[in-house]
Amino acid sequence: MPEGHTIHRLARDHTKALAGQKIEASSPQGRFTDGAERIDDRRLERIDAWGKHLCYWFEPKRKRDEPVGMHIHLGLYGKFRLHRLTDRDGNPKELPEPRGAVRVRIVGETAAFDLNGPNTCEIVTPDSWQTITERLGEDPLRADCDAERLWKRVSTSRAEIGSMLLNQSVFAGVGNIFRCDSLHACAIHPEREARSLSRDEFDQLWQTIAVMLKIGVKRNRIITTDAALKGGKIGRPSRSEALRVYKKDCCPTCDGPITSWEQAGRAVFACEACQSKDPD
């Protein structure tokens, strides 16, 4: 499942390609026909990203009407294909035929995208979108995130911090790779009770997650190495070289073994030597 950096990168790229344009919407697959009719021939105003959720907002057709949103959650199999409708010289390009079961096709003046296999693709109002976002936790990529509110939840929870990191109602946008590698970077064992973290440990973890996600948006991939976190040269590492402990055999810090077990329904990876189970 795409982690939060992918969703924010999509929002950024689609905003650049389509915002301000009147779009044509259709559902080649036929499962979103009514929804496509609701947003067809409207101007795309903005795209909102929160955790693993996207919402495309379209202008009202009449001034007294409220905006209409298209809420998307990619889930495990959702995938976008972005099509440029002009070449580098500004000459028009033909839009390709839909590939596979395309839930929705959005066509603007200079670009288009197809969406296949999302977990959710639905029409929302501002009120129903607020209901969705009220169930989501803090997203460090959003300007309105509230670390103090998050600390209050973490500091009073008996849940294991490794499980809590995957709870989207607490940490929005954090997936399994960021969970494993951020905890390793902060020397925190996944099985520690959340409330056992000191304020300094929490602040370090929150900042580490934020930096990792921001790198992911910028580079359009996950890179969690020390060099990346310290702002050094990253280069073009392979997938294995770009990660710390996720699906690794050896710890990059002590060269000891990485252990793995199931936590919150996913395989978690940690170094028992570097990540203490006991608070100081």
Contact predicate 225/234, CB 8 Å? yes
113: enclosing H helix or E strand: strand 111-116
State the Cα–Cα distance between residues 4 and 252, nearest whole angstrom.
25
pLDDT in tens, the chain (280 residues): 789 999 999 999 999 999 999 999 999 999 999 999 999 999 999 999 999 999 999 999 887 888 899 999 999 999 999 999 988 888 999 999 999 999 999 999 999 999 999 999 999 999 999 999 999 999 999 999 999 999 999 999 999 999 999 999 999 999 999 999 999 999 999 999 999 999 999 999 999 999 999 999 999 999 999 999 988 888 888 888 999 999 999 999 999 999 999 999 999 999 999 998 877 6
Determine whether 85 is exposed, middle or buried from the number of CB atoms within 10 Å of its CB (0-12, 13-18, 19+): middle
* CATH topology classification for 147-270: Helicase, Ruva Protein; domain 3 (1.10.8)
Neighbours of 150 (CB within 10 A): 18
State the Cα–Cα distance between residues 35 and 39, nearest whole angstrom.
7
* CATH topology classification for 4-133: N-terminal domain of MutM-like DNA repair proteins (3.20.190)
Nearest to 244 by CA among 255, 252, 254: 252
Bridge partners for 31 per DSSP: none
What residue spans define the domains of the chain? 4-133, 147-270
List the catalytic residues.
2-3, 52, 266
Backbone dihedral angles phi then psi of residue 66, each to the nearest 5 degrees = -90, 160
Contact predicate 149/134, CB 8 Å? no
CATH topology identical between 4-133 and 147-270: no
